[in-house]
Amino acid sequence: MIEAGLSRSVVRWCPGATGVTGAAKLSGGASQETWRFDITHPDGVIGAILRRSPKGYGAAPTRAAGLAAEAQLMQLAFEAGVPSPRVMHVLTPDEDLGTGFIMQRVEGETIARKILRDDEFAATRPHLARQIGCVLAGLHKLPLDKLPELRSRGATEEIAEFERDYRSLNWPKPVFELALRWLRDHDPGPSREETLVHGDFRNGNLIIGPDGVRAVLDWELAHLGDPMEDLGWVCVNSWRFGEIDKPVGGFGSREELFAGYEAAGRKCDPERVKFWEVMGTLRWGIMCGGMMQRFREGPDHSMERAMIGRRASETEIDLLRLLAPRGS
Amino acid sequence: MQDEPSPIELTKAVADFLRSDITPLISGHQAFKLRVAVNILDLVTRQLTREQASDAKEVERLRALLGIDGEVTDLNRVLADRIARGEIDLATPGLAEHLWATTMDKLAVDQPNYASYKRELSRG
């Protein structure tokens, strides 16, 4: 039935298109869904992706930028040469498909473990840390006056917000308390410059092919803030998927990341990057706690969610490795 | 006193049954869910095996660190509060060692294959 709605939509804005086939849901929570489908066209099939909130789920969670902003950011990134899918269409109310947008499907791999282990990526892996630096620099250079309206969030506000999230869990964790103290003691204050921050730039949210990074996905946490936040988050140990000696997503070193970033014409601040890595590690730990809470109280009583609660201890050992390393 | 087999033995028997007899029969998303289920039973088995001894040692360390007595949950709450208030920090003798020992005991139950844990374990 979604195919009928999509067919009615594509023939309106895609010249020559005759309909769609093969619609399949890739992921979906209560409020947001991702579908893949193919647009039938005399020149050949066009692969497409739908991101939408179904009808009745218009309101975005507080931290999310919203699907309209996401579409605008992806299109801006695409036009600026940052690897990104091309946005083909923003849904309109009369199409009855909910709110969201349709973008061109980029082929490639997002599953981090495959990218880190499979032979087809062996040649590109050594270059990815540097390339990621370059992509992030491009993203941080997007002109502020063209961006959609986004929340602005610096280090001090983020510490306060994570502390509030953590306290609301009523889940006393001495290691998290230690991390919160450390963050307050090392709060770098407002960034010298405020830029677009992707907010969830990491291994798992990148489409990668044998030729390198093809697209940056999941812009829903985009905001304005300290550009070093993205560099710190991509280094969080949870996104190295076992390759713990290669801080940048399990691909390579911070030095390579910084070199790629600076070669693209932007300056790095390694102290700030370290601050955001600690912050990011704690952030994922608190998110694990949130999953546990939703498992207990919420509608999602799944085993997977329950087990994510038990992954908070991974962030505790990583915080200790950052803040109280042994044998050093 | 309850009869035997113990909960550890019973849980392990269920996990072994699911792993050996049911896993080959199932595919797709259900196979993924089954793997999660087996992982949960394995975690429970590890916790039942280790919790009593690790909690006892944790309480011993917490009593020395805090100078008060209590249950493991209450003592952890007090430690968290004192760190939050800045009364205890990494300069406090014994805090780093306590947090490391406690965290290693958690990983031994939660994620014994986590790379950071294996690295720290190899330090001895």
ipTM: 0.96
**Which residues of chain A have a CB within 8 Å of the CB of B105?**
none
State the best of B42, B103, B119 to mutate against chain A, taking most chain A CBs within 10 Å: B103
Express each pLDDT in A204-262 by its tens digit.
999 999 999 999 998 989 999 999 999 999 999 999 999 999 999 999 999 999 999 99
Q: Do A320 and B106 touch (CB under 8 A)?
A: no
Q: Find out whether A37 and A23 touch, Cβ atoms under 8 Å.
A: yes
CB contact under 8 A, B40 and A242: no
In Å, what is the CA distance from B24 to each residue of B18, B38, B43?
9, 13, 21
Cβ–Cβ gap A303/B33 under 8 Å: yes
Q: What is chain A's Cα-based Rg?
A: 20
Cβ-defined contacts of A68-72 (< 8 Å, 24+) = A68/A99, A68/A101, A68/A148, A69/A148, A69/A149, A69/A150, A69/A219, A69/A222, A70/A101, A70/A219, A70/A220, A70/A222, A71/A100, A71/A101, A71/A103, A72/A147, A72/A148
Chain mean pLDDT for chain A? 93
Residue A58 has pLDDT above 70, yes or no: no
pLDDT digits (tens, 9 = 90+) for A128-174: 999 999 999 999 999 999 999 999 999 999 999 999 999 999 999 99
For residue A61, what pLDDT band results from cuts at 50, 70 and 90?
low
The SS3 call for residue A165 is helix
Nearest-by-Cβ selection for A181 from B36, B89, B100: B89
Who among B77, B81, B103 is closest to A317 (CB)? B103
Of B80, B89, B106, the CB nearest to A313: B106
pLDDT in tens, A267-290: 999 999 999 999 999 999 999 999
Residues of B in contact with A173 (CB under 8 A): 76, 80
Per the domain annotation, does B28 fall within a domain? yes
Kindly give the interhelix angle for A125-140 and A254-263, rounded to the nearest 10 degrees: 50
pLDDT surpassing 50 at residue A60 = no
Mutation site, A26, A166, A173, A177, interface B, largest B CB count within 10 A: A177
Binning pLDDT at 50, 70 and 90, where does residue A29 land? low
Q: Could you give the count of Cα atoms lying within 13 Å of A89 in the half-sphere of its Cβ? A: 20
Q: Residue A65: pLDDT band by 50, 70, 90 thresholds?
A: confident
- Is the whole model's pTM more than 0.90, yes or no? yes
Domain range for B94 is 7-123
Expressed in angstroms, the distance from the first to the final Cα of chain B is 37
Distance from CA of A240 to the nearest CA of B (A): 10
Interchain contact, A172 vs B100, CB within 8 Å: no
Residue A97: both structure tokens together: 């498909």
Nearest-neighbour CA in chain B from A164: distance (Å): 13
Please list every residue in chain B whose beta carbon sits closer than 8 Å to the beta carbon of residue A243: 115
A103 close to A74: Cβ distance less than 8 angstroms? yes
What is the rounded CA–CA span in Å between residue A207 and residue A203? 9
Residue B91 within a domain? yes
Chain A: closest CA distance from residue B26 (Å): 17
Higher-scoring residue by pLDDT: A303, A1: A303
Residues of B in contact with A250 (CB under 8 A): none
Q: Do B115 and A242 touch (CB under 8 A)?
A: yes
Asked, for residue B2, whether it belongs to a domain, the answer is no
Answer for the pair A136, A201: CB distance below 8 angstroms, yes or no.
Answer: yes
Tell me which chain A residues have a C-beta less than 8 angstroms from the C-beta of B33.
303-304
Q: For residue B61, which residues of chain A lie inside 8 Å, CB to CB?
A: none
In chain B, which residue's Cα lies nearest the Cα of A237? B116
Shortest Cα distance, chain A CAs vs residue B36, angstroms: 7
Domain count, chain B: 1
* Number of Cβ atoms within 10 Å of the Cβ of B6: 12
Is position B56 within any domain? Answer: yes
Q: Would B78 be classed as within a structural domain? A: yes
Determine, yes or no, domain membership for B93: yes
pLDDT of A59 strictly over 60: no
Residue B1 lies in a domain: no
In a domain, residue B59? The reply is: yes
Percent of chain B with pLDDT over 90: 97
Please tell me the predicted confidence (pLDDT) of residue A297.
86
Max CA-CA distance within chain B? Answer: 56
β partners of residue A27: A34
